Amino acid sequence: MNKYVIDIAKTCLGCKKPSCQKGCPVNTPIAEMIRLFLAGEITKAGDMLFANNPLSVICSVVCPHEKHCEGHCVLNKKGAPVSVGNIENYISDFYINKVRFSKREHTGKNIAIIGSGPAGIALAFIMADKGHGVTMYEGNDKIGGVLRYGIPEFRLHKQILDTLSERLIQLGVVIRPNTMMGKNLTLDELFRDGFDAVFIGTGVWSPRKLNIKGETLGNVHFAIDYLKNPEVYKLGSKVIVLGAGNVAMDVARTAVRHGVREVVVMYRKDEESMSAEKHEIDCAKIDGVKFDFFKEPVELTRDGVRYRTTDESATEGFSEADSILVAVSQAPRDLIVKNNRGIEVKDNGLIVTDDSGRTTKEGVFASGDVVTGARTVVEAVSFSKRVANAMEEYFATRES
């Protein structure tokens, strides 16, 4: 066992009213987790974590802990907080690789889950564990959504997603890969074929454009596309990344790892205004990524970026680059809502739901990024837990 994990677990004060738990979007019982771990009951701790958050093994790696659990630790007042993520990951990784699930007795209810990202996987585990029949529809060949195709391998090893897929199948979940729902297969056809409820968790996969000259050029690429398969891109020796969020940091760090000698993030404001987590910015700096602030792109060319400064100088200039990666957010694809009546969307394309994920079409629910815009994995899990309760209420209402 990793002695380091034991040592950091022992730094926990075991607070009677743990503020770390309150800071977690899914209310993870952190103090109890650590108590069980140090008492030699790691399987019990893992079972508790999984019951509360089926993606605990993922969240323990990719969560912005400094904003949630660790950011609320009382030890912050005098020094460093308990490294909750490391402890949770050790327990959850041990548990998910050890546990074997079995199919529950079928309740007679069947659910179609469109999209197998964090929101869809979490809901599939919750509902399959209750005994409902679950079928997942995934547009790619493997499940994971943004976890597999949007987070770099150096941040999240994809083997864990294959393990989660195996556990879903053990629970009786049917996975239908390479299937794009919306046009050839419609929501009404799902209800026709015996599904009692439909869930949409398709994420945000349409890159937003800058709407400036040069975006169609061959050396310009959208970040979300690049992250799907960076090995196929020949970016050259210098790359400019346009954007200031976590995705921009991911593509910048990925480009460095794929041989680009100089990677520069260009942003129209200052570092304090960046939407990326501070930890992600710090990691990018450590990896050698450079930052160029107060510059707004006005044209993309085959040789680089024409920009205007946004500070007091208000000048124009040019930065050379072999390739340009555009990372200025994403929007939902409209394949489902365009071809299925009754689902209301906002002006930005996000699906309209109530706080429990009920859409404007009866029997259809949604959560995750397709509803909220790009958020964290743990926030998607929290939303899907509310959807699970709303579905149960829906089933009960139809039976009464």
Report whether CATH 3.40.1620.10 matches the domain 110-204+332-399: no
Residue type, 133: G
Q: What is the pLDDT of residues 358-373, one digit of tens each?
A: 999 999 999 999 999 8
Whether 3-98 and 207-330 share one fold: the answer is no
User: Is residue 173 predicted with pLDDT exceeding 90?
Assistant: yes
Residue type, 326: V
Per-residue confidence at 374, pLDDT binned at 50, 70, 90?
confident
Are the C-beta atoms of 244 and 269 separated by less than 8 Å?
Answer: yes
Q: What is the pLDDT of residue 220?
A: 98
- For residue 251, the tally of other CB atoms under 10 A from its CB is 28
Instruction: Domain 207-330: give its CATH superfamily.
Output: FAD/NAD(P)-binding domain (3.50.50.60)
User: Cα 151 to the chain's mean position, in Å?
Assistant: 8
Helix (H) / strand (E) containing 96: helix 84-98
In whole angstroms, what is the distance from residue 193 CA to residue 393 CA? 22
Q: What is the pLDDT of residues 333-354, one digit of tens each?
A: 877 877 788 999 998 889 999 9
Are the C-beta atoms of 197 and 395 separated by less than 8 Å?
Answer: yes
CA angle 122, 67, 351 (to 5 degrees): 45
Are the C-beta atoms of 237 and 260 separated by less than 8 Å?
Answer: yes
Q: Report the phi/psi class of residue 44: left, alpha or beta, with left for phi > 0 and alpha for psi in -120 to 50.
A: alpha
User: Cα 394 to the chain's mean position, in Å?
Assistant: 27
273: which 2 tokens?
């205004």
Task: Read off the pLDDT of each residue in 140-149 and give the average, rounded to a whole number.
Answer: 95
In whole angstroms, what is the distance from residue 225 CA to residue 229 CA? 7
Tell me the CB-side half-sphere exposure of residue 340, using CA atoms within 13 A. Answer: 26
In whole angstroms, what is the distance from residue 16 CA to residue 14 CA? 6
Q: What is the pLDDT of residues 191-207, one digit of tens each?
A: 999 999 999 999 888 89
Q: Measuring CA to CA, which residue among 237, 227, 199, 197 is closest to residue 320?
A: 237
- The DSSP secondary-structure symbol of 251 reads H
What does residue 353 show for φ and ψ, rounded to 5 degrees?
-140, 170
Q: What is the pLDDT of residue 400?
A: 65
Q: Measuring CA to CA, which residue among 379, 334, 326, 377 is closest to residue 357?
A: 379
What does residue 242 show for φ and ψ, rounded to 5 degrees?
-105, 115
Q: What percent of the chain has pLDDT over 70?
A: 99
In whole angstroms, what is the distance from residue 274 CA to residue 207 CA? 19
Residues 6+ apart with CB under 8 A from 360: 342, 343, 344, 352
- For residue 341, the tally of other CB atoms under 10 A from its CB is 10
Q: What is the pLDDT of residue 348?
A: 87
Report whether CATH 2.160.10.10 matches the domain 3-98: no
Q: What is the pLDDT of residues 60-101, one digit of tens each?
A: 999 999 999 999 999 998 889 999 999 999 999 999 999 999
What does residue 329 show for φ and ψ, rounded to 5 degrees?
90, 170
Q: What is the pLDDT of residues 277-310, one digit of tens each?
A: 999 999 999 999 999 999 999 999 999 999 999 9
- E strands, the chain, in order: 110-114, 133-137, 174-176, 197-200, 206-207, 220-222, 238-242, 262-266, 290-292, 295-301, 304-309, 316-320, 323-326, 330-331, 364-366
User: Is residue 178 predicted with pLDDT exceeding 90?
Assistant: yes
User: Is residue 1 predicted with pLDDT exceeding 70?
Assistant: no
Q: What is the pLDDT of residue 283?
A: 97
By three-state DSSP, how is residue 263 classified? strand
**DSSP secondary structure string for all residues of 301-368:** ETTEEEEEE-STT--EEEEE-SEEEE-S-EE---HHHHHSTT--B-TTSPBP--TT-B-SSTTEEE-T
Task: Read off the pLDDT of each residue in 42-63 and give the average, rounded to a whole number.
Answer: 97
Q: Report the phi/psi class of residue 27: left, alpha or beta, with left for phi > 0 and alpha for psi in -120 to 50.
A: left
Q: Measuring CA to CA, which residue among 247, 238, 386 is closest to residue 323?
A: 238
Helix (H) / strand (E) containing 114: strand 110-114
Residue spans of the domains in the chain: they are 3-98, 110-204+332-399, 207-330
- The DSSP secondary-structure symbol of 106 reads P
- For residue 142, the tally of other CB atoms under 10 A from its CB is 16
Q: Which residues pair with 351 in a beta bridge?
A: 345
